[in-house]
Structure 1
Amino acid sequence: MHWAYRIAEELIKKYPNQKTFVCASGISPSGSVHIGNFREVVTTYFVVRALQQLGKQTRFIFSWDDFDRFRKVPQNVDASFAKYIGMPYSEIPCPFGCHGSYAEHFEKEFEQSLQQFGIFPEFIYQSEEYRSKRYNVPILHALQQRNEIYDILMAFKTGRPSETERENFYPVNVYCEACGKDTVSVTDFQNEVLSYACECGELNAKNVLEAANVKLNWKVDWPMRWMAEDVVFEPGGRDHSSATGSYRVSREIVSEIFHHQAPKYEPYDFISIKGTGAKMSSSSGNNITPGELLKIYTPEVILFMFAKYQPNASFHIGLDEDVIRNYTEYERVSDASQGQMKEEIRAALELSVVTSKTQRAPKFSHVASILPLVNFEASLVRDVLGKTDEEYTLEEVGEVCARAEYWLRNWCPEKVNRVNEEKNHEYYDSLTDMEKEWVEGFVGVLEFAANLHDDDLMRRVYDICHVDDPKMKRNNQKRLFSIIYQLVLNSSSGPRIPLLVHSVGKERLIALLGQ
């Protein structure tokens, strides 16, 4: 059983009388949301789809934690924004001047990419929720239960509790109404009134039920929102899942303080960029955004990459040869019959469907190998594919060409093969006499096979290196292909031989290969 359906069935069993299954995810808009954060959203999305397939009503909510404090200036933001550290993301200007706030810029960037995946959650902006005073009653309750919250927090720490620290503990952050920052110390709480002093010199006191500048600390805020939205499922990163992690602490707080049941929780592991092994981070710049990935992969391929792995399995995003491998795997699975697929793969494929519209497209590896040889012209790629009995519209070919070109030019320029201008005499002279005979045999096939179908052409090419030993024959054939690519493209690899012939043309090939 696929993991999303396993979780869905566990939820149905755990909440047999639940009318609507509220499934949640959330991210802080500290910078461009990377593909590692995407796992937070897509894990919930797959569970929601599984619940819907099982006939259940769902509510998929996504919280933007834009009332969190600005902690660090990302690499792609001007260093002068350090002056806003300590303010909520929603109150900081847009660093690029195109949106209403810092938060809105990165929120809309991510929301637009989610639309391409067919993912449309109900977005909740926590700055609006806190400013509207929706949470003021639970905030007051948390302050009234602050000693008990302190005891729960300390139970998960190695340090010893202190009675003085306990009496001076307040589970809130306060944004100063003068400077807008959270450089604030709470000095007193009595009769529902919170008093504070800010480093800027501001002294103030607010009735908690009327305050719009008070936010619960993370490990209290999270469980409070489980209660507020009646959440039954939410995933979380591996770092939240340890014995002393946020989920364990919040599970106790929601039960003991808010008297509500914690949602079912699914930990997910991190995603790294191939070659670094490092965790992606919005502030470090070590990231790939969904928008960037969508310039290379179709939404379906990306969703399949996530759906096929258990959430607790780590994997890396590679933008080198992995792109070809990922496309090839998806194309192979998509073309397979239902009976040939394992149940988990079949479910992963179904969960990755973005539109019910039947989509035809040439194989990515074929397009990527042809494209540089025809000067990146989609119409010529379509013509070459047509000669191999693959008929596509220009629009169908063009979409694949756009992704392949972006990948080749920006991430894998070493695969941009160009046809040699003249024969490589030095390389040809380095060949053995037998290898030269193979090349001459290939030229002969080209000269006398003008009307051959591609399959017949390849049979004749394979026979050039014929020996009785099957293993030796395969090695000879690989060697011949490598020689052809080197003489034509100055590379050890290239497109399938029929595609090479149709892309370059027989006359030009003969000129580069013949004596």
Structure 2
Amino acid sequence: MHWAYSTANRLMEQHPDRGTFVCASGISPSGAVHIGNFREIVTTYFVARALEKSGKRVRFIFSWDDFDRFRKVPAGIDPAFEQYIGMPYTEVPCPYGCHESYAEHFERQFEQALMPFGIRPEFIYQSREYRSKKYNPSIIHALKNRREIYDIVMAYKTGEASAEERERYYPVHVYCESCRKDTTTVQSFDEPSSMLKYRCHCGHEAAVYMPEATNIKLQWKVDWPMRWGVEGVLFEPGGRDHSSETGSYQVSKTISEHIFENAPPMYLPYEFIGIKGSHAKMSSSSGQNYTPDDLLDVYSPELILFMFAKYQPGAGFHIGMDEDVIRNYSEYERYREAYDSGTLTGDVKEAMELSVLPGLRKKTPKFGHVSSILPLVDFDADLLKDILSHSGENYTTGELEPYVKRAEHWIKRWCPEKQITVNEYPNSAYYDALSSTERSWIEAFCRLLTRPELEGELLMEQIYAICHHEDKKVMKANQKRLFTIVYQLVLNQNEGPRIPWLIQAVGVNKLLALMEGNT
């Protein structure tokens, strides 16, 4: 059984009377949200879909932790933004001047990138939640239990606890009402009056009446379990960095149980995703990443979903933009054909089921074919349509356009060696190096090209017959060699599009000129 369905089944077993299953995920808008962050939301998405397919009502929420502090200026952002470190993301200006804030810029960018996948969670903006005072009773509760929270936090640390530190511990971040940074120190909290006093590095001092506070946020390991209770979360995944025995989840789980007296949600750890050829972790701040938009420029949305669905969340994998693109498309196309024909079974079938988007046409052009033909027709969708139609693949230009755009972007941006061109002149040196048998094959190939009654499969049967041999292994090797020779004489490459498509794209006269010109 696919991991999303098994997770959904465990949730239903644990909560047989639950009317609505709340599935959560979330991140900070610290920069361009990358495909590693995407695993956070897509893991929740698959579990939510599995629950819905089981007939359950689901509330799928995604929290933007935009009341977190701006910690670091990411690569590609003006270094002058260092002046805003310590402020909440929602109060840092938009680095490109097109949104109200830094947070809003990266939030909208990611939210729009999710739309092609059909992923539409309920977005919760934590800056709004905190400023609405919704969490203030929970913050006051945490302050009253601050010493017990300190004991829990220290139980998961290797450092020594101390009575003095325990007494000074406050599980909150305070944004200064003067400079708006969290460079503050809590001086005291008076329970009877609910007054909290703080001092900032900028010199500002103030007392805050906690029921009306809008500038105070719980520390992460307290904030997380607090929100589980407020939102009624039953399932949430987390990255490897949160999932160790002493990691954030274990600390938050204990705080949830002992401080907020709330059962923690089912937790599913996921492994990080890497960039092929790099050992570095994807990071918004370093710029070492692929964003969902980067992948959507090359891959179809349903293929991206399938790439994530087919792996267990705890299994890491790398994404490359080289020949892996062809391999990933070929694998997906093979599985999709089997799924549509009803022959796909097991986990792969369920992974495909979770990835297929409504309204998607079953038969689609193969990416490998499209990318092999396009450079020969100068990336013209209409010419591609005509060539495919000769093989019985009929698409409108509009249906082909997304595949043309992805293949063109991939070739020009990531794989320029695929941008092949037709030779201008016969390659006499290559032809002269052929054996007499190989030359006879080319002569026979040229004779077939002059017979207009031969098309499609009938033409291919005759071409294959050129290399007939009693030993089928020898014959197959000869046929492969013939095609290599043709591609070399026409494209100066060892491979290319299928021969019928090569003929359509280049034209019979040009092909004959390049091959007969040597004889």
Does residue 435 in structure 1 map to residue 427 in structure 2?
Answer: no
Please name the residue that 1:196 is paired with.
Answer: 198
Please name the residue that 1:95 is paired with.
Answer: 95
Instruction: Give the aligned residue type for 2:77.
Output: V
Instruction: Give the aligned residue type for 1:428.
Output: Y
Local SS of the residue matching 1:507: helix
Deviations 1:34-90 (A, max 9, x none): 111111101101111111111111100000000011111111211111111111101
Local SS of the residue matching 1:492: coil
Output the CA distance in 2 between the equivalents of 1:22 and 1:458: 57
Whether the aligned pair in 2 keeps the contact of 1:72 and 1:283 (CA below 8 Å) is yes
Output the CA distance in 2 between the equivalents of 1:339 and 1:86: 55
Please name the residue that 2:356 is paired with.
Answer: 353
Residue 360 of structure 1, CA deviation: 4.4
Instruction: Give the aligned residue type for 2:67.
Output: F
Residue 367 of structure 1, CA deviation: 0.9
Please name the residue that 2:216 is paired with.
Answer: 214
Output the CA distance in 2 between the equivalents of 1:64 and 1:301: 26
Whether the aligned pair in 2 keeps the contact of 1:62 and 1:123 (CA below 8 Å) is yes
Whether the aligned pair in 2 keeps the contact of 1:361 and 1:400 (CA below 8 Å) is no
Q: Which residue of the other structure, out of 380, 389, 394, is the alignment partner of 2:383?
A: 380
Output the CA distance in 1 between the equivalents of 2:206 and 2:427: 82
- TM-score, normalised to structure 2, is 0.97
Instruction: Give the aligned residue type for 1:136.
Output: N
Aligned residues: 514
Q: Which residue of the other structure, out of 234, 237, 240, is the alignment partner of 2:239?
A: 237
Instruction: Give the aligned residue type for 2:273.
Output: I
Please name the residue that 1:423 is paired with.
Answer: 426
Please name the residue that 1:414 is paired with.
Answer: 417
Whether the aligned pair in 1 keeps the contact of 2:448 and 2:454 (CA below 8 Å) is no
Whether the aligned pair in 2 keeps the contact of 1:338 and 1:346 (CA below 8 Å) is no
Gaps of 5+ in 2: none
Residue 465 of structure 1, CA deviation: 2.1
Instruction: Give the aligned residue type for 1:430.
Output: A
Please name the residue that 1:454 is paired with.
Answer: 456
Residue 353 of structure 1, CA deviation: 2.0
- TM-score, normalised to structure 1, is 0.98
Please name the residue that 2:50 is paired with.
Answer: 50
Identical-pair percentage: 59
Whether the aligned pair in 1 keeps the contact of 2:71 and 2:85 (CA below 8 Å) is yes
Residue 190 of structure 1, CA deviation: 1.7
Q: Which residue of the other structure, out of 455, 465, 468, is the alignment partner of 1:466?
A: 468
Local SS of the residue matching 2:479: helix
Residue 442 of structure 1, CA deviation: 1.8
Alignment of 1:175-324 (within 5 A): 175-191=175-191, 192-324=194-326
Alignment of 1:468-483 (within 5 A): 468-483=470-485
Local SS of the residue matching 2:26: strand
Output the CA distance in 1 between the equivalents of 2:180 and 2:239: 30
Residue 338 of structure 1, CA deviation: 5.3
Whether the aligned pair in 2 keeps the contact of 1:423 and 1:511 (CA below 8 Å) is yes
Deviation larger for 118-127 or 360-369? 360-369
Local SS of the residue matching 2:429: helix
Deviations 1:112-144 (A, max 9, x none): 111111111000000000111111111111111
Local SS of the residue matching 2:103: helix
Local SS of the residue matching 2:157: coil
Does residue 11 in structure 1 map to residue 16 in structure 2?
Answer: no
Q: Which residue of the other structure, out of 352, 361, 366, is the alignment partner of 1:363?
A: 366
Whether the aligned pair in 2 keeps the contact of 1:423 and 1:513 (CA below 8 Å) is yes
Output the CA distance in 1 between the equivalents of 2:401 and 2:361: 17
Residue 451 of structure 1, CA deviation: 2.0
Output the CA distance in 2 between the equivalents of 1:338 and 1:12: 31
Please name the residue that 2:152 is paired with.
Answer: 152
Output the CA distance in 2 between the equivalents of 1:162 and 1:485: 76
Instruction: Give the aligned residue type for 1:164.
Output: E
Output the CA distance in 2 between the equivalents of 1:397 and 1:66: 40
Gaps of 5+ in 1: none
Change (3 A) 1:83 1:217: same
Local SS of the residue matching 2:24: strand
Deviations 1:9-56 (A, max 9, x none): 000001111111000000110001011111110110111111111111
Residue 100 of structure 1, CA deviation: 0.7
Output the CA distance in 2 between the equivalents of 1:432 and 1:84: 72
Residue 444 of structure 1, CA deviation: 2.2
Whether the aligned pair in 2 keeps the contact of 1:240 and 1:246 (CA below 8 Å) is yes
